[in-house]
Amino acid sequence: MLTIAQELWVEAHHSIPDLPIWHHCHKHHGHHWTIRLEVVGAEGELQAADAEQLAAVAKLLESHEGPIRMRTLNDITDPPTRTPDNAWLAAWLHTWVSGHLRVGLAEHLRVTVTADGYTAVHQGELAVQEGDARPAIIPSP
């Protein structure tokens, strides 16, 4: 198996108003997110241009022109989301990044998002949260 990976860091804001008022994520605040984009495939499935494409997508995500840097995550969807946590961001990024890759490459994409010790991994329909009290989202058979 071959792996193409890019790791980047993005600062963005959010609030999760559905959490109890005493929870620190209930109010608007910022995080420094670590994002890892990986494309894993068997030899012959990946092309040399895929590495360049993934690097360009990572660079765009880190830039001020990107969709999340220094933005309020609640507001990047229409209608605004009330649950922009790590699992939500990993899933949203999976969709966004997939739209910037060649057709068929999204099925090999894995997005890992970490902030404040909580990690969420999204690979297609599979999302796994580590270090979090909430249950993982497991795809239906």
What digits encode the pLDDT tens for the residues 14-39?
Answer: 999 999 999 988 999 999 999 999 99
pLDDT at residue 114 in the model: 94
pLDDT at residue 5 in the model: 95
Measured CA distances, 55 to 14, 25, 128 (Å):
26, 31, 24
* Percent of the chain scoring above 70 in pLDDT: 88
pLDDT at residue 63 in the model: 95
As a whole number of angstroms, the longest Cα–Cα distance in the chain is 52
| DSSP sequence for 101-124 | S-TT-GGGEEEEEEETTEEEEEET
**pTM attached to this predicted model:** 0.84
Query: Which 3 state secondary structure label does DSSP give 54?
Result: helix
Q: State the DSSP code for 72.
A: B
pLDDT at residue 132 in the model: 42
Rounded Cα distance between 112 and 119, Å, is 7
80 within 8 A of 88, measured Cβ to Cβ: no
Weakly modelled stretches of the chain, pLDDT under 70: 125-141
